[in-house]
Structure 1
Amino acid sequence: MTRLLAKTVPQGYSEENPPYSCLLPGHLEQVADVAEVLLDLTSPVMTSHFPWPEPLFRLSVRLAALTHDLGKISKELFQPLVHGTKAWRQCIRHEIISDWLLQNHPQLHKMMDDLLAGYREKERLLSLRSIRLAVLGHHFKFDLGTIESSERIPFLDLSFEHPDMLAVLDLFERRLGIHLPQLASIRLSLDEDDVEENIREPLKEWLDRADREMSLDEKRWMASVRSVLIAADMIGSIRADTPEEWRSKLRVLKEAVVQADVSPVLDQVLEAAKKRNPHRHPEITSFQEHVRQAALNHDIVLIESGCGTGKTQASFGWGSMTGARYMLIGYPTTATVTQGYADHMELFGNNAQLLHSRSDVDLDLLLKGGWTDNIPEDRDHSIEELREESLQRLVHPMTFCTVDTIIGLLHNYRSSYLLFPIFVNGCIVFDEAHAYDEKLWQGVLDWLKLFPMPVLIMTASLQPHRKKELIDVCSGVRSLTVQQGPPTIQSLPKYNVHLIEEGQPPLEKIVKELVGGHSVLVVLNTVERARETYDKLAVLMPDGADLLLYHSHFKYEDRVRRQENVVERTRKGGGVCIVCTPICEMSFDISVTRLFSEIAPFPSLIQRLGRLLRYLRDTDQLESKMDGNAYFWMPVTYGPYRNWDELLESEQLLRGLPRPCSQLALNERLGLMRTDGTRRREEPDWLRIERFKAESSAREAQQTTVEVILASDAAQIMKEYGTSNRLEWMKKVLPLSRSGLSRLDETVKKWRHVRIVDDQRVNYEAMKGGEWA
């Protein structure tokens, strides 16, 4: 007998005896099981913010979980696909057939009506719309344009008499507490006129009407139903050979959900941190306590406090007071995530997880002594990787992740949907908020409007227009408080800023400061100018001087060694010069006594100044007659920033600073920045009705770099590991400027998204990084 499959049978298994999870009844039962666990986690919280009853939400998710894959019974369309006919293409996806069955099969339609009969008309309509949109969208591939007719297959005979289908109907009866008579077969014509009249046109009219009539709260309800189904479907797709094996995995999930409670974990971490540093500055302790208490009366907290003032530990105290079961800290890049995780992994132990697109590589490198990366998180995970990781994602009460992992839910990132139950029960920290691009920041504002969970936003200083937008979003809806950093530390006049008019790095001055025993940070806005400045300084440096170059164009594993070397050498103090790019603005825990930098947008300059005398706490530690310790000049081009206006404005703000100046003075100057104009806002993809796909990024388009692997590295990896060892391949990935990419490079062989290029195309040194030859 040919079995009804929901998933392709993996290698090593026969189609006559596939894993339980690959069978249609097995898969539907696993998804239904997970849905019940996730409902216990999400339903009480989500429905408390809506005017509709919680049992309706539970029933809607339950029905969506049981019916979402009914379209896979199609022996003409779907079954050949999962039985190995790789060239097979479905003219109508199984989600569309599932929805068509629910609307057109008289017994299934009656089943839905009977189960919803006890609710009011508007509640029934909301539930039916939510179920349909969840079923249609659960693979992120719903688009009316994908519905086609077929000349090869005139019609589909959808039969419910197969033994596997009888097992599905038995599952319906057990889970819904109903009796279902034997369902009659039904035929779906694939003739062009019939497809247009019976599928495409009615569905388009229904979608248009739902989009017009549904309120924002109804769309939020619907999207929440869809989110629970998608998470349940991904977790429920984990492989299990037998029902017994599945029940064992289900127990792990249930235990993790029951035991999840981040508050005692955070309290333990804070107590351990206090023992490590018993002589913390009293103002820092007071600041952290104010942030902690703010959680009791405000669901949105904004922290504005300079580098090195204890913001992260303040966030732990805040999280412990929110009453949330989970906590997530979102950082702007993969490097800042891993830095945050590494700084605290010993304290959190198994209670924390590191999540981003390369977290497996970083974890491997952490065990070997370090890591680095500074690329944004804009790539979603593969479906196969997510299935394997899915159970683990709900086990840890603490998550260190990129902002994209959180905001990605609004853009239909699969990896974000897996965390939806955590989002609903969690408190969320958005760190380094000044560094988000405008699209990512708008995502944060959308998040605050759509989700009622506690949120903490942290930054050294937030742009004026962003603070205004934040206040406007919270006004009358959310309770917002702003917490400033320790006043004395924030007021220390430790920055003595000078402008250099020549428009070039003052090489002789840099060497003089280095010879005088200072630790020097030189920041150029581009990798090209950083390499050029490094080469010039190398000629001028006296023998034995320490000169290090650090930027983003290193092989992944070489960046590990580079950042380790830079941080370790700088912490030794005096007599070192670091030439760097904007990579230093975040995830760079160093303190220097001299800063030389090209002018950049003012929030970036504040971050660069945050590396200068980072741990200075008292006025008696200041130099008695402080000379200039921060020097800025205008670069020769405005790239990588948007235009000259940004840099000219920064120059004027720098000229107006007192000498010396404090963090508070920097914040006051930041308040004088021009406010950006009103931006066009679009409805988040998470709420979309008429088209539901995973096709947009949480960030603005970034086309400045391309990732490559040298052919010699690729050959070595292939010889030792083959193509499947992602860990080893990712260690050799090298970002380079996209502008150097030739037409030939566009057609070369790839590993996943990464181009494999001839070694002769790239000049590469482990100490200097790479550039196009």
Structure 2
Amino acid sequence: MSAKHQPLRPKLLLAKSKETPWKGAYTLAGHTAAVVEAVTTLLDELGDGLIKQFGLSQDFKTLRATARLAAFLHDLGKANDHFQAVVRKLKNPMEHPQLMRHEALSVLLSWELRDWLSTGDGDLMVAIAAAGGHHLKLGGAAGKQTDEVGEIRESGVDEWTRGDRLLLYTNHRHFMGLLRYGQKVCGLASDLPQGLPTTWTIADIKQRRQLLLQQLATWDADPVLTAVVKALLVAGDTSGSALPANNVEIQPWIQTQIRYTLTEPELQHVVNERLNGESLRPFQEQLGNTTSRVTLARAGCGTGKTLGAYNWAKRHAVGRKLFFCYPTTGTSTEGFLDYAHDKVDSTLLHGRAAVDLEHLQSTGDDDDLETKLESFKAWNTKVSVCTVDTVLGLLQCNRRPMYCFPAIAQAAFVFDEVHCYDDKLFGALLRFLEVVKAPILLMSASFLPWQVQAIEQAVGESIKIIQGPQDLETRPRYRFHLADTPDWERVKAEFDQGGKILWVCNQVNTAIAVFEEAQQRGLKPLLYHSRYKYGDRVNHHREVVDRFKGDGAVMAIATQVAEMSLDLSATLLVSQISDPAGLIQRLGRLNRRYCGHALDALFYPDEKVDFPYRQDELDMGIALLQSFGGEVCQADLASWLEQAAVQGKPDRDSVWLDGEWRTYPASLREAGYTTTVLLEQDVKTIEKLPAKLLPRYTVPLMVNGKQTKGWKKCRRYPVAPADAWGYSSDIGAYQLGRR
């Protein structure tokens, strides 16, 4: 054979590059042992609580054996020449990709070994499915199901490998040693399997995939057991990889994190700090006294339901971790700063948290490893304040919640602003309620009748709704004024009197136009919308919130971002008409800290129909406003919405629970109108930026896949060309020629 095709004959079978500080865990056997140790420690520390948290029908012995078997199998597929050449930097995977990903090969090799592997106690099919999905790339791509047990790729010929076949190191002494290790830890038969294949051509792989797919088609999977083992393995592989790389011993570290849970005095401290000498309101006390596993709190803006939730946690989160879940990054950041930061051991956990809290903590780098290390914060923190995606994303195999699974597996949960969930997100919540048997508090300004019915069906019992303080919710807060055009004279008068004005538009371009007109009228406005680089958006957010808290006149022009993320109290609201839910959210910013009487809300129509609101949604918004002729309270709005609501259609599909052997990330929310991009002007800076701070430069633009198809990419994001998009830190991104 020519030197060009000299087969690779490695002395060691590697799992990681020896150039990184993996100590003994860089070998295939060493890394496998580390992951088995991590999974075992997680199981033994979580114990029967894991069975109870997910209502598993299997006993702990079966769960433990299955998860340990999955950990043993997960990297068997690395014993091939393509992977071993890549990890030694002898093969460039960008020019010559591996013929097949290693975890898909682990599935096929495990199937070859099925007779021997079946001699242990674990559920083999569950273990194989978990092993194949531990990198979240099995059976799907780009969020869609593909039914492929691994993609066969064009690899080409290089110095060490051929593109039409794989050399399998199944007769390598280290592979045989790995099998003996598996025999010991998984209780398998002492006679090791013989006659394993040492070469697979593309035809061989296709044949084996087809046979396995036929078997999988008849597999009667236990969805919850399969899902739990998948998540345990992802978390175990994450810790079994990252901890040795950081010279941390696996077992004592995991034990410390799992045992680090809330105490009642810690939660009481949060409550006391917020009360500042005042007493709890009756409904907050009711939340603290409820004994139901799932509780609903129906309370409007500014009534103190967040404080009530921490009082609820005193009964339901002691001995657990606590996840406090908000719909958006803005609301989660505000909830963290207002309640948890510096009051209890807590962390802000969402994809942009490093930017929001840049002044509070140092930063790191390295893309996927950084995400994993960030997720460890949930392991070693008692209270995680996060976006709902951090928890419910588990239902769609999203990376962060899969990495956070050990914390989720022992937590209590608060979900706030549930009325803002779209059908897909609400469907995920229903599946979560069905499967996760933890203490859960759902909070919302309103619960629609069909939502309550769906929640009760998911939980399996009727649920008492704890109502917010009627004395607050029945106070007359608003007076509605509907006109064809905005009343600038009324706005100017409010500003001159030292008032605080919030103006909400339905589109960014409209908000910019209003901002520029307000500047011309001498009103010194602030502008806040979503089309900023995220770092600038955080600055605009803080300036608006801080100015509204301070003395003197202030005017802020915003888009829908104001509906949830701005904790402020305006003295005058000006708004375009939107859908009823949006209008009610906007009204929640007016007279939020009740001044003793009703305040004006001025509404005018949006001439742009179908985006972002359909005509029927705008018509419903007008109907809401026309329903009230005098002074209006929060209870009136909630009652109107609950009576007028149309039956929703929750999307309950879940890759995690319904995917069987498939494991890939899918969208948790309904598709939006925007695409997150980077600007060409920032590329040189971004290329050298630590991954943790990359979100500082991301911008959501109103562009679709067709428009971005020809754009370059940087760090996985489309790059908006500089000859088409400009940017100003004052007004955000704008399309050249459109202003």
TM-score range, shorter chain: 0.7 to 0.9
Letter in 1 for 2:170: S
Q: Which moved more, 1:574-583 or 1:748-757?
A: 748-757
Structure with greater helix percent:
1
Q: Which residue is 1:315 aligned to? A: 309
Mapping of residues 483-494 of structure 1, within 5 Å = 483-494=466-477
| Map of 2:142 onto structure 1 | none
Match of 1:358 among 342, 352, 356: 352
Structure 1 CA distance, aligned partners of 2:84 and 2:417?
A: 49
2:136–2:664 CA contact under 8 A, matched in 1: yes
Partner residue, 2:378? 393
Local SS of the residue matching 1:708: strand
Equivalent pair of 1:518/1:593 in contact (CA under 8 Å): yes
Cross-structure match for 1:289: 285
More divergent stretch after superposition (320-329 vs 727-736):
727-736
Show the counterpart of 1:201: 210
Report the CA distance shift for 1:347/1:314 in structure 2 as closer, same or farther (over 3 A).
farther
CA distance in 1, matches of 2:202, 2:730: 63
| Partners of 2:198 and 2:209 in 1: CA distance | 13
Q: Match for residue 606 of structure 1?
A: 584
Are residues 596 and 25 of structure 1, via their aligned partners in 2, closer, same or farther at CA, if it must alter by over 3 Å? Answer: same
Match of 1:643 in 2: 614
What is the CA deviation profile of residues 217-251 of structure 1, one whole-angstrom value per residue up to 9, with x for unaligned ones?
A: x2111211121112111111116369xx442x542
Contact 2:676–2:717, Cα closer than 8 Å, also in 1: no
CA-based RMSD of the aligned residues comes to 3.0
1:20 aligns with 2:24: yes
Report if aligned partners of 2:504, 2:558 keep a CA contact under 8 Å in 1: yes
* Aligned pairs for 1:343-382 within 5 A: 343-349=338-344, 351-366=345-360, 382=367
Q: Are the counterparts in 2 of residues 708 and 736 from structure 1 also a CA contact under 8 Å?
A: no
Contact 1:329 1:430 in 2 (8 A): yes
The answer to whether the 8 A contact 1:745-1:755 is kept is no
Match of 1:120 in 2: none
Deviation at 1:338, TM superposition (A): 1.4
Q: Percent identity?
A: 27
* Contact 2:370/2:691 (<8 A) preserved: no
Distance in 2 of aligned mates of 1:241 and 1:659: 66
Q: CA deviation at 1:413?
A: 0.9
1:495 aligns with 2:478: yes
- Aligned position for 1:454: 439
| Residue of structure 1 equivalent to 2:143 | none
Which of 155, 159, 184 does residue 170 from structure 2 map onto?
159
The alignment partner of 1:496 has SS state of strand
> Any idea what the Cα deviations from partners look like across 1:465-519, whole Å, max 9, x if unmatched?
4334323433xx145221111110111012111222x1x2222221122223322
Alpha-carbon deviations, 1:157-189, whole Å to 9, x = none?
443442x33553453355346774565451155
- Matched with 2:690 is 725
Residue 455 of structure 2: aligned partner: 470
1:407, 1:726 → 2: CA distance? 24
| Mapped pair 1:630 → 2:607 | no
Q: Which residue is 2:653 aligned to?
A: 682
1:551 aligns with 2:529: yes
Q: Which stretch shows the higher mean deviation, 177-186 or 382-391?
A: 177-186
Shift of 1:148: 4.5
Residue 677 to residue 332, structure 1, CA distance change in 2 (3 Å): closer
Match of 1:707 in 2: 677
| Residue of structure 1 equivalent to 2:159 | none
Trace 1:63-462 onto structure 2 (pairs within 5 A): 63-74=69-80, 76-84=81-89, 85-87=91-93, 88-105=96-113, 109-110=115-116, 112-116=117-121, 127-143=123-139, 145=148, 146=150, 148=152, 156-162=167-173, 164-165=174-175, 167-169=177-179, 171-172=181-182, 174-176=184-186, 180-181=190-191, 184=194, 186-187=196-197, 190-191=200-201, 194-197=204-207, 199-210=208-219, 213-214=220-221, 218-238=222-242, 240=244, 245-247=247-249, 249-261=250-262, 263-274=264-275, 277-280=276-279, 285-294=281-290, 296=291, 298-322=292-316, 323=318, 325-349=320-344, 351-366=345-360, 382-462=367-447
How far the C-alpha of 1:32 sits from its partner, in A, is: 0.9
Check 1:592–1:241 CA distance in 2 against 1; reply closer, same or farther (3 A cut): closer
In structure 2, C-alpha distance between the alignment counterparts of 1:574 and 1:40, rounded to whole Å: 58
Query: CA shift at 1:589, angstroms?
Result: 1.6
- Whether the 8 Å CA contact 1:324–1:427 is kept in 2: the answer is no
Matching residue's letter, 1:228:
L
Residue 762 of structure 1 deviates from its aligned partner by: 4.1
Give the aligned residue type for 1:190: W
C-alpha deviation, 1:402, in angstroms: 1.0
Deviations 1:608-654 (A, max 9, x none): 111111112xxxx534xx5x611212211135434110111121122
Structure 2: distance between partners of 1:755 and 1:3 = 42
- Matched letter for residue 353 of structure 1: T
Which residue type is aligned with residue 521 of structure 2? L
The residue matched to 1:237 in structure 2 has which SS?
helix
Matched, 1:514 2:483: no
> For 2:46 and 2:653, how far apart are their aligned partners in 1?
27
Distance 1:643 1:196 in 2: 48
Which SS does the other structure have where 2:242 is aligned? coil
- 359-368 vs 697-706, which moves further: 359-368
Alignment correspondent of 1:374: none
> What is the CA-CA distance between 1:330 and the residue it aligns to?
1.2
Are the aligned partners of 1:445 and 1:473 in contact in 2 as well (CA < 8 Å)?
yes
Alignment correspondent of 1:371: none
Q: 1:767 pairs with 724, 730, 733, which one?
A: 730
Shift in Å at residue 562 of structure 1?
Answer: 2.1
Q: CA contact under 8 A between 1:463 and 1:603: conserved in structure 2? A: no
Return closer, same or farther for 1:535/1:734 CA change in 2, 3 Å cut-off: same
CA 1:559 to 1:99, structure 2 compared with 1: closer, same or farther past 3 Å? closer
Is 2:703 the partner of 1:738? yes
> In 2, Cα distance between the equivalents of 1:45 and 1:650?
47
Code of the residue aligned with 1:57 in structure 2: it is L
- Asked if 1:570 is matched to 2:548, the reply is yes
1:60 CA drift (Å): 0.8
Report if the CA contact (8 A) 1:570-1:592 is conserved.
yes
The answer to whether the Cα contact below 8 Å between 1:19 and 1:239 also exists between their aligned partners in 2 is no
- Structure 1 portions without partners, runs of 5+: 117-123, 369-380
Alignment partners' CA distance in 1, 2:730 and 2:659: 48
Contact 1:60 1:225 in 2 (8 A): yes
Which stretch of structure 1 is more off in the superposition, 396-405 or 355-364?
355-364
Determine which of 663, 681, 684 is the counterpart of 1:692: 663
Structure 2: tracts of 5 or more residues without a match: 1-9, 140-146, 156-161
Shift in Å at residue 571 of structure 1?
2.1
Asked if the contact 1:334/1:356 (under 8 Å) is kept, the reply is: yes
Query: What's the TM-score once normalised by structure 2's chain length?
Result: 0.88
Secondary structure at 2:127 match in 1: helix
Contact 2:378/2:404 (CA < 8 Å) preserved in 1? yes
Structure 2 letter corresponding to 1:771: Y
What secondary structure, in the 3-state scheme, does the structure 1 residue paired with 2:358 have? Answer: helix
1:378 maps to which residue? none
Give the Cα separation in 1 of the matches to 2:229 and 2:361: 40
* Secondary structure of the corresponding residue to residue 142 of structure 1: coil
Contact 1:269 1:348 in 2 (8 A): yes
How far apart are the structure 1 equivalents of 2:43 and 2:199? 37
**CA separation in 2, counterparts of 1:408 and 1:225?**
17
1-structure distance, mates of 2:136, 2:582: 37
- 8 A contact 1:6–1:24 mirrored in 2: yes
**3-state secondary structure, aligned to 1:480:** coil
Instruction: Call closer, same or farther: CA 1:100–1:460 in 2, change over 3 Å.
Output: same
* Count of equivalent residues: 703
Question: Does the Cα contact within 8 Å between 1:748 and 1:755 map onto a contact in 2?
Answer: yes
More deviation in 132-141 or 40-49? 40-49
Q: CA deviation at 1:109?
A: 3.0
